[in-house]
Chains A and B, each alone.
Chain A
């Protein structure tokens, strides 16, 4: 059974850094893109981009390219989403999801990580 398990909720001050994680099991970690999607509480879904653990290729939504970084540790089947300087507008739930081989749909999702940025 494919599972994506994300790290717990985080609270940070503006300007601080943060890395959240997404551990994948039941799937060949190196052969699927991992998508990152955010949801501001009470709002809709927005794609941040994709990361391919097989060759560490990161593809960013241009709106987020300069603000977030994707990475992974293949030894632990874990993908990461990182900020070096958080802003209040980053407050949201962040989901990781596996992109299917046979299309661009996201077939398995993590449970989400709530990130709160507040002074």
Chain B
């Protein structure tokens, strides 16, 4: 059971917008910035959003992140079939010497 709670699944149709939530606590999201990773089927995760709302170069602006208090969200607009993937939120943990990852949300594009 992760300290960061994500819905196990989400879905949308092409062109729609979808939001994935990540709920934590004062000790994690409330204290540190949130990162989001996308894992396409059969591949390694890759960085999608960092420092709550910043996009690495090459990530389209259809992807956006936000944070408020102890919760964060990843929004995907203009959904495409290739967005089908698992999405993980994560925050730094000094105690673990690494990221705490959410349980992941499987996004299905119908």
Contact = CB atoms under 8 A, between A and B. Distances in A.
Interface of A: 35, 37, 44-50, 59-63, 95, 97, 100, 102-112
Given A44-B103, A44-B104, A103-B51, A109 B44 contact: yes
A110 B45 CA distance: 9
6 contacts: A44-B88, A45-B37, A47-B100, A49-B98, A50-B98, A104-B33
Interface of B: 2, 32-33, 35, 37, 43-47, 50-51, 56, 88, 90, 92-93, 95-104
A111 B45 CA distance: 9
Contacts of A44: 2, 88, 101-104
Given A44-B88, A100-B50, A35 B99 contact: yes
B18 to A, nearest CB: 20
A37 B93 CA distance: 14
Contacts, number: 78
A contact patch SS? strand
A76 B102 CA distance: 34
Nearest to A51: B97
Contact of B45 (A45, A60, A62): A45
B97 A50 contact: yes
A48 B46 CA distance: 18
Given A103-B33, A104-B32, A105-B35, A48 B47 contact: no
Contact of A47 (B47, B98, B102, B104): B98
B97 A103 contact: no
A53 to B, nearest CB: 16
Contacts of B103: 44
Contacts of B33: 103-104
Nearest to A49: B97
Contacts of A111: 43-44
Interface centre among A46, A102, A104, A112 (most CB of B within 10 A): A104
